[in-house]
Structure 1
Amino acid sequence: MTYLDALQTTLAGEHAALFVVGYLGAQTSQSRSPQLYATLRESYDGHRDRRDRLEDLVREAGGEPVAAGASYELPQVRSEDPTTIAAAGLAVERACGATYGFLVANATGHGRRWAVAAVVDSGLREIDLGGRPRTFPGR
Structure 2
Amino acid sequence: MTTDLTPLQTAVAGEHAALWVLGVVGAQAPEDSTLRERVTTAYRLHRAQRDHLIARITALGGTPVPAEPGYMLGDVSAQTAGYAAALEVEQKAAAIYADLVAHTTGSDRSWAVTALVECSIRQLWFRGSPEIFPGTSELANR
TM-score by length of 1: 0.90
**What residue is the counterpart of 1:22 in the other structure?**
23
The answer as to whether partners of 1:14 and 1:47 remain within 8 angstroms in 2 is: yes
Q: CA deviation at 1:135?
A: 2.4
Matched pairs, number: 132
Q: Which has the larger radius of gyration?
A: 2
**What residue is the counterpart of 1:111 in the other structure?**
108
Q: CA deviation at 1:136?
A: 2.7
Q: Percent identity?
A: 43
Q: Which residue of 70, 74, 92 corresponds with 1:95?
A: 92
Q: CA deviation at 1:76?
A: 3.0
Counterpart CA distance in 1 for 2:119 and 2:55 is 20
TM-score by length of 2: 0.88
Uncovered stretches (5+) of structure 2, i.e. residues with no partner: 135-142
The 10-residue stretch of structure 1 (37-46 or 2-11) with the greater mean CA deviation from structure 2: 2-11
**What residue is the counterpart of 1:55 in the other structure?**
54
Q: Deviations along 1:9-61, whole A, 9 cap, x unmatched?
A: 10000001100100000110123xx2111110011001100000000110122
Uncovered stretches (5+) of structure 1, i.e. residues with no partner: none
Which amino acid letter does the alignment assign opposite residue 30 of structure 2?
S
Q: Secondary structure at the match of 1:30?
A: coil
The answer as to whether partners of 1:10 and 1:99 remain within 8 angstroms in 2 is: yes
Counterpart CA distance in 2 for 1:105 and 1:124 is 20
**What residue is the counterpart of 1:64 in the other structure?**
63
